[in-house]
Structure formats: C-alpha cells, structure tokens
Amino acid sequence: MTSPADTFLDLSTSVLRDLVAGQSPKDLAARICLRIEQMRPGRIASVMWAGDGDERLHVFAAPSAPQGLIDQLDGLTPGAHAGSCGSAAHSGVPALVSDIETDSRWDDLRPLAQQWHLRSCWSLPLFHNDRLLGTFALSGMVSDVPTDDDILLLQFAATLVSALLHHEYQMMQRQRLTDQKSRLIDFNHMLAKVNQKIVSVESERELLQPLCDLAVRYAHLKLVLLARPDETLRFRFLAASGATGYTDGLYISADPDLPEGQGTMGRTWRSEQAYFNTSFEHSEFLQPWQSRARQFGLKATATLPVLRGGKMFAVLAVYHAEPDVFDGPLQDVLRELALSISRGLDRLDARKLQNALFNNAFVGVFLVQGRVIKSCNPQAAHMFGYSLDDMVGMPVRDFFASDIEYARLDKAFSKMSKSQVVQRQSMVCVRRDRKLLQCDVSGRMFIDNEGEHSVWTVLDATERETQAQRLHRIAGFRELLSELNQFSADPANMQQVKDHDLYDFVCQVLSQNNALKLVWIGSPLPGGGGFDVLASSGELNWHSDCLPMQSEQPLSSGKLMREHTAQRCWHENQTILLTYEIPSTDGRGGQSVARSTVSLPIHIDGTLTAVLTICGHSEDILDQDAISFFDNLVLNIERGLQNIRQRNQIMRLQGLYRALMQQADVVLRAQTVPDMLFGTCEKLVQETPFNAIYLRKPNADGVMDVLASTGSGAAALQNVISVVAEDARDQLIVRAWLTQKTAIENDLLGNARLAEYHPFLRAHRWHSALVTPVRRGGELWSVMGFVCEDHDVFDPQTVELCERVAELLGRGLDELDNKQRLVSLQSEEAYRARHDRLTDLPNRFALEQYLPQALARSKKNGRMLALGMMDLDDFKPVNDQFGHETGDRLLRELAGRLRARLRAQDFLVRLGGDEFVVVIGDIDPDHAIAHLQLALSRLHEAVEEGFEEGFEVAPDRFATVGLSGGFALYPKDGEDGDTLLRKADATMYQSKTRKNTRAQWWQLFDQEGIV
C-alpha cells in the first residue's frame, strides 16, 4: 500500500515536472484538488487566487464544486467574517472551521453555506515571502474537526499550490512588463509622429484634429479629445478621435459646485494639473460617467492641461480600453504630448504674429535700383547692423554670404515683372559683423520717373530655421530612441543579446545621425591598467582625443589621464562635457572649429558599469535638447541592461527549476553516493548557466577533499588547497564549512583577499560563486559550490534555489542511507528466517527451499542424492540431569563439528530438538554405497571425540551421546522431498530402536526389510 509520503512525493514530482513542461498552473491546481479529494472522500478542495491586483479572492481551481457556488464566491472580499477563505486571507492564519452554523467567521456567508449545505471548511492562507497568493481549502457537508493527518494533508497541498500560484504570479508580471514595454514603444512612436506633424501645420484646424487621430492610430487609445468650457462652464469639444460616440450628448462641466464638475476634466481645468485614473469603476468622482464609459469600453482615463501663451487653453483627455495602463513612463509621454500641443499652439501664434509684423512693415524693406541699395527702412538697417546712411549705395551682393546665395537672388531679378512677386526663402545673408542670417526675401518691380525699381522685403528667419533644425534634430533623436526601445522590447532580441550586443547596437544607431561623428562605450580595465573600449562606431579617426585607442590597444591610464571626459566621468560618476577648438581646415586662416565631447555614466542597479562617450560639433552636442536626449538614452540603455539581467535571471532560475526536477531522478536512480554526487554535478552544469559545480569535505588533516566536481576548472580543483582554519575564512569553502551557512561572493576578482587564487579564477572564468552546506542525517557532511562566469548572479531567488538543490541532495543521501539500512535489515531478517537461532544451521524453511533445487540438479546431472534424518542418542538425560543450557551448549558444539565435516555441496539442517537432516548430493550412481559410507564415516567423527567417551557438562562430570541415522536415496527411494523425508525418518526410527545391536550408526531405507 502506498504511503501518504510517497503519494505526496509522486504528486509533487509530476506537478512540478508538468509545470516546467509548460502545463497551465490552473490545470495542475485542479489536478491537486482532485487528488486531495480522493484522499479525503466527501470533501471539496478549492484554490482561491489573490493575484489580480483588486484585493479580492478569485476562484482559481475547484473542479468538484458546483458552478453556482463558484460564481457566488468569485470576487470574495477578505474579512474577519467572510468565511474560512476570506478570514484566512484577512488574518494571515489558518481558519479551521469545524461548524459553520456557529462559527462567527462565517457570519457574512452563512446563507451561502446553508444554500449549498456546507457545514465545515478548513482553509490555509498561501504566501510567498510576505505576499498573499491566495488560499487552499477543504469543505464538507458535515461538521468535522480536522485530524493531525488532515492538517498535514492541508499543509502539503498548500505548499504545492503556493508554488503554482507564485509561478502564475510571475508569468502575469512578465506579461504585464511586456505589455508595458509595447505600449511605451507605441506611445513614443505616437509622440514622434505628433511632433513631426506640429512642425508642418500652419493653422489650429490643421493641428488639433490630426493630433487626436495620430494618438488613436499609433498609441491605440480608445478615445482622444480636446475640450474647453464655454461661458456656461460646459465643456465643448474642439477635436475628438476614436470612440467619439461617447461624446454625443455628454455633459461635463468646469463648475466645482456641480457633480458633473467633479470629474478629472473639470479638476484639470481648475488646477492646471494632470490626473491619471487607473479605472472608471473604482473612481468615486467619475461615477456620473461610469455607465457610459462601460458602454463604450473605456476603462482608464487621463486628463492633462494644454496651455496657450502660458494660460489654460484646453484639456487633453485620453481613454484606454484596459485598466491600470497609465504607469509612470506612459504618464511622462502623455505629459510630453500635452506640452508638445501647447508648444505647437504657441508656434502657430508666433507665426501669426510674425505675419502681422511682416504685413505691417516690421520687416526690412529695401528700394533697389540697378542692384544697388537706393533706400531702406530702419528695421532693415538694424537687421544687418548698419546705419541708414551706410546702407544707401551699398551693392546688393555685399549682403550675401557667398556667390552661390547671391546667384539665387540674381535669378529672381531676371524673372521679376510688374505683376509678379518673386520670393526666396532661407537665403543665407551676412551682417556687418560677419554673422550669418537666414532670411526670407520677396520683391516686386515698379517703374517711376527714374526708371525701373524693385521693392524688397527681408524677414529674419534665423530663429525659425534654428527652431526647425532643432525640431528636426529632436525628431531624429526620438526616432533613435524609438528604434532602441523597439530593439529592447523585442523578446526575440532580448532572448539572445548580451551587454556588448546592446552596446554595439546603441553605437551603430547613434552613428547614423550625421550630427554625431563618433560614439563609443567603455570601462576601465581591472586594477586601473587602462580604459577598455567595449563598442564603438562612427569616424574612428575624426579626432584622436575622442577615442582612447592606439594601435587598436587601450590607452594606459598615464596616456589617457584624468582630463579625458570618459576618465573624469568614471571617477566623478556624473556627466562630463568638454569643448575644444581645432584649427580651420579651409587653408585660408579662418576661424577655428569648435568641437565637443560628452561622457555619460551608465549604471546597473545603481552601480557604475560603463561610460557612453559621444563626439560631435559643439552646436550639435551641447544644446539642451541634445543633453536631454542623451540622458533619456542612458536611461533606455540602463533599462535594456536591466532587461538582459532579468532575462538571464529567468533563464538561470528556469535552469535551476529544471535541474531540481531532474535531480529527483538522479536521487532516485543513484545506487551509490558517488553516483548521486557526480550525477547531481553533471545535471546542474548541463541544465543551468553555472559553469562549474563541486562538493568538498575536510579529511582528517583538515584539507578539503574534492568529493565530486564537473565543469570548467573541475579537473584542477584538487590542486586548489583549502584548509579548515579560522585564518582561512576568506575562502568561501572554509567560511561555509565553519559557519554552516551559505557563503556568497558576486565578484571574485574584485576581492583582493582572494588575490592568490585570481590566476585560477581568470583561467576558468570563475567570476561569482556560492558555497552552501550539505547535511546528511541532520549533520553537516560537506559543502556544495556553484560557480558562474557572470558577475552579480546570486540574487535572493537564485540563492534560495541553490540552497534547495543542496537540501535535496542531502535528502537524497539520507534516502540512500535509509535504503542501505533497509537492505541490511532485510538481509538479516532473511537469514534469521532460514537459520536455527541456537546452532546457526539452516532450518526447516531453508530445507523446503533448498531440497527441490538439489533434486532438480541431481536429475539434470544424472547423479544420486542421499537424504538423511539424524537424531542424538541419550540426549534427553543430558537435558534432564544438567539442564537445557548445557544441552544447548552440546547441540551448538555438535552442529559446528558436523558442519566442519561436510563438503561444500552438502547441506545440514536442524529441524528442532536433537533432530538433524543432512543432504548429500553429487553421488555417483555406480558407487553410491561406497561414496555414502565414506561421507557418513567422516560425519560420524563429530560424535566420536568428546561425545561417545563423554562430553564435559560440568567440572569433572561427563555425558555421553550417540548418533542414529536413516537415509533414503534419490531417485531409488523417491523423487520428491516429502517421500524421501518420510522414508528417511522411518529408517532412522528403526535404527534408533536397535542402537544397542546395530552394526553401524546408520542404515538405508531398503535394509533390514524396511519398506
């Protein structure tokens, strides 16, 4: 019969194996419930889940419960009187209710219990660390107090179900993270499209509605609208896109005294603050619109202020079809969207103002005749830095930066007529101080008494062009960020890339921007020996000071010095900017060219890990937009690195889970301790990212012997001596042994106290390690080491799993010890069952097993077999006169003598008392009597010395005994054991009755007329 422990082990093994294979945790939980119900007939097992984030309990698995009961319990709010499961989840302690009718913990649900005839319910809360996962419960229709076995069963099921719920929670969190990344990519893409649109529009009508359309299209929002209140404070919609049916007849007010004015749109208008609501259903001040929102599938909303000229202009409202979507990064993007709309409106207003100024002669106006300035207005003189008098008579050519630019205007002169206005935009002009201007030029010809003239208006468009270039550069930067985000968010990429792959991608993408001439990422070599370039792209020879590389080798610290931005950035752990000038390369002694380098620190989990250095022209590198972009870029790189580490952690944990599952097979199949140790090491190296696993134990001299090892460096591990001593605590192995606790080092090469082992560690890529005790029989037996080629591997989850591996190995060793003890006990029991306790001779049971085999061998080999019954003569007086203890001593002595005179193929048995059976096999049929006489004569020697003359039973007192025997031959006297025994017994009896007159102590069955 299978024990509960075996049932638990089988169920745990199958469930965890199927979980690793990808089976649904809900299906596995249902399997556990059904199995528990089989073990406790009449009970209903159920699992409730608290991981949906709404602080309620939901039915996770209840395969035997009625659907109506499941529907009523789903969404249960925990509380002190909310039934066993609600109470257990509320209090964090088991709720073992034996009588629902009287227990106050069922006050709120007693009608439900009566409806479904529930009388008892035992529920345990399920936790992972301090987080509530759910509950496991057994319900019944009779009042019942749980036994110790019931509680043990509950605890077992709760432990197994907790693992499933925790796995479900982790999968849900990973999916949520993936969705968040995808949404962030969409929102950033939308923002880039919006900014591109803002640059090109010329009117408010062209701005607002397309922006709503873009937001719905690229960010997949359910509804986007812009609204502002009218004179009655009722919001009117300026533009809307998506589920616009929601706005039909919709009444929203900015009046705080009305219920319709308490929503987020009214609050945003009054406070100029953004509001983000995760759910329509759970927001009190959105109650007037909850039904309408439910009708159109709107579950989350955000409202943000849109300013115009620094004052409130409208409210931007966005709606999503899913709750809980507007996390921190999305809120930042939405704020940037509202700010971009505000900037776009300000830009339109500025353009209108510029047009007004232009139409009212707030631009430069020139009167030209024969390509010479005849007169101009004060604005024109101010624009070019001359006085009005200086301007008169100047050639038009003097106001242009190059012959090419002037040629553009010269073509305009040739096309000019009375009826046609000639325009040229973005012409490069030059001021008196040699500064360049971007100007829009328009002209018209007229004729007066003095001949042909032309009137030209010149608008200084330098700021506009600068802003356009800035917006273009910002859009380019956002495209780069979007490309990086898409790369980081693609699961296919993140399943394969490592840190240096991400670095290479960043450098390649940035170098595609023409403004950025050189990009590289690096970090100092260990020990301060130089600065190592991890990735680079761009014009590697653009300037020798930008890239710390010489002959493709890292520059030493002495050559690089502290003045390089990368070195300073590393030492000061902050962004460093450097501007320098190089001589002009135009060969005409022109102005020197200003170039800049910016270095930014890259962190992982708050630790400085690398430096990003970007080189370019000063105007492209040092403006605020570029610096802001670089900061965001570093944040994205850090998020990507974090994703890589999370992926590595997940792979490492998955490998450990698989190894745990497979270690159970190793433990079960191992026949010896070495098999178990080496099998465990090999499985771990094969299934996990660990590149070496070992087990060590101190010998009598205190030196840590290697019991088993696998992986890189395993063969040389025996040469790395570790001595158990207090002064050797720097070694993880010794520390773990002495403290009997797990010892961890996440940066072996960074630990100066391990300097003597650094050559070994570098040779085998041992960068982080964990050593944990292995206990056997409850006592410290050895230590187990886990080694990885990556840094910072051993986080709490990995440590916990490594300790579980060591614990499972210890249990396997205990199980192997138990098996060996059981085999030994079984062997001893089998021996005792087949041997006489007094003489240690085989007994009747052994004879019954031996005799059929001996007869079969004789038949197969064509040999005879003699079976004899032997009995001691005059043994009873010995017992009567000297006691049974003396008789037992005589029997033991006799048994030893008889056994010593038998051949290896003969068999001696004590049936009981003073009766013995001897089986003499392998007798030649042609010489059977002679063979038998020789064997029996040798056998009788056992009683000839010290027995017939007298066996000393006490000092100077002797007793004499003899031996009588009867023998039957196979196959002559019978072909089965019972026949031979019966005939031998009869013959022995006849021999014993004639012991005083017989010629010899034994006789055969057919002698003396015995039949």
Is the pLDDT assigned to residue 12 strictly greater than 90? no
Q: Identify the CA nearest to 957 among candidates 874, 886, 884.
A: 886
**pLDDT attached to residue 618:** 61
Burial pattern 830-844, b for ≥16 Cβ within 10 A else e, equals eeeebbbeebebbbe
Between 4-20 and 148-200, two packed helices, what is the crossing angle to 10 degrees? 10
Q: Which residue has the higher pLDDT, 958 or 600?
A: 600
**pLDDT attached to residue 957:** 77
Q: What is the pLDDT of residues 272-308, one digit of tens each?
A: 999 987 677 777 778 888 888 888 888 889 999 999 9
Is the pLDDT assigned to residue 589 strictly greater than 50? no
**Contact predicate 943/961, CB 8 Å:** yes
Q: Which of 96-100, 174-178, 430-434, 674-678 has the lowest mean pLDDT?
A: 174-178
Q: What is the pLDDT of residues 477-512, one digit of tens each?
A: 777 777 777 776 666 665 666 777 888 888 888 887
Q: What is the pLDDT of residues 705-717, one digit of tens each?
A: 899 999 988 777 7
What is the CA 800 to chain-centroid distance, rounded?
A: 12
Is the pLDDT assigned to residue 312 strictly greater than 90? yes
* CB < 8 Å & 24+ apart, contacts of 468-474: 468/199, 470/623, 470/625, 471/195, 471/198, 471/199, 472/199, 473/515, 473/620, 473/625, 473/626, 474/195, 474/625, 474/629
Strand stretches in 418-574, DSSP E:
421-430, 436-448, 451-460, 516-524, 531-538, 549-550, 553-554
**607-617: strand order across its sheet:** 531-538, 516-524, 607-617, 593-604, 576-582
Q: Which of 123-137, 551-565, 608-622 has the highest mean pLDDT?
A: 123-137
**pLDDT attached to residue 94:** 94
Q: CA angle at residue 360 from 354 to 365, to 5 degrees?
A: 95
Could you tell me the domains of the chain? 4-175 (3.30.450.40), 201-356 (3.30.450.40), 361-460 (3.30.450.20), 466-549+559-581+600-649 (3.30.450.40), 655-822 (3.30.450.40), 835-1009 (3.30.70.270)
User: What integer is the mean pLDDT of 578-600?
Assistant: 63
**pLDDT attached to residue 538:** 81
Q: What is the pLDDT of residues 157-212, one digit of tens each?
A: 888 888 888 888 888 778 677 766 776 687 788 778 888 878 788 888 888 888 88
The tokens for 565 are 């931005």
Q: How many CB atoms lie within 10 A of CB 698?
A: 17
User: What integer is the mean pLDDT of 245-263?
Assistant: 90
Strand 553-554 relative to strand 779-788, pairing: unpaired
Strand stretches in 712-778, DSSP E:
743-745, 768-776
**pLDDT attached to residue 463:** 83
Is the pLDDT assigned to residue 53 strictly greater than 70? no
Strand stretches in 719-761, DSSP E:
743-745
User: What integer is the mean pLDDT of 82-105?
Assistant: 93
Q: Which residue has the higher pLDDT, 551 or 241?
A: 241
Q: Is the dihedral of CA 493, 497, 503, 505 positive or negative?
A: negative
**pLDDT attached to residue 955:** 78
Is the pLDDT assigned to residue 823 strictly greater than 50? yes
User: What integer is the mean pLDDT of 725-751?
Assistant: 82
Q: What is the pLDDT of residues 753-809, one digit of tens each?
A: 777 888 888 888 888 999 999 999 889 999 999 998 887 888 888 888 889 889 988
**pLDDT attached to residue 534:** 83
558 — pLDDT class (breaks 50, 70, 90) = very low
455 — pLDDT class (breaks 50, 70, 90) = confident
Q: Which of 327-331, 348-352, 713-717, 1005-1009 has the lowest mean pLDDT?
A: 1005-1009
Q: How many CB atoms lie within 10 A of CB 225?
A: 27
Whole-number Å distance between alpha carbons of 743 and 732: 6
Whole-number Å distance between alpha carbons of 604 and 611: 12
Whole-number Å distance between alpha carbons of 724 and 704: 7
**pLDDT attached to residue 1010:** 45
548 — pLDDT class (breaks 50, 70, 90) = low
Rounded to whole angstroms, what are the CA distances from 17 to 24, 28, 36, 463, 966? 12, 10, 19, 67, 66
Q: Identify the CA nearest to 928 among candidates 970, 966, 984, 900.
A: 970
Q: Which of 356-360, 419-423, 904-908 has the highest mean pLDDT?
A: 904-908
Burial pattern 655-683, b for ≥16 Cβ within 10 A else e, equals bbbbbbbbbbebbeebeebeebbbbbbeb
Is the pLDDT assigned to residue 354 strictly greater than 70? no
Is the pLDDT assigned to residue 588 strictly greater than 80? no
Q: Which of 234-248, 346-360, 724-738 has the highest mean pLDDT?
A: 234-248
User: What integer is the mean pLDDT of 612-627?
Assistant: 73
Q: Which of 72-81, 226-235, 446-455 has the lowest mean pLDDT?
A: 446-455
Average pLDDT score, the chain: 83
Is the pLDDT assigned to residue 910 strictly greater than 50? yes
Q: Which of 88-92, 420-424, 561-565, 615-619 has the lowest mean pLDDT?
A: 561-565
Rounded to whole angstroms, what are the CA distances from 635 to 190, 517, 602, 605? 20, 22, 8, 12
User: What integer is the mean pLDDT of 724-751?
Assistant: 82
**pLDDT attached to residue 541:** 65
Is the pLDDT assigned to residue 603 strictly greater than 60? yes
**What is the percentage of the chain residues whose pLDDT exceeds 90?**
26
**pLDDT attached to residue 554:** 42
Is the pLDDT assigned to residue 419 strictly greater than 80? no
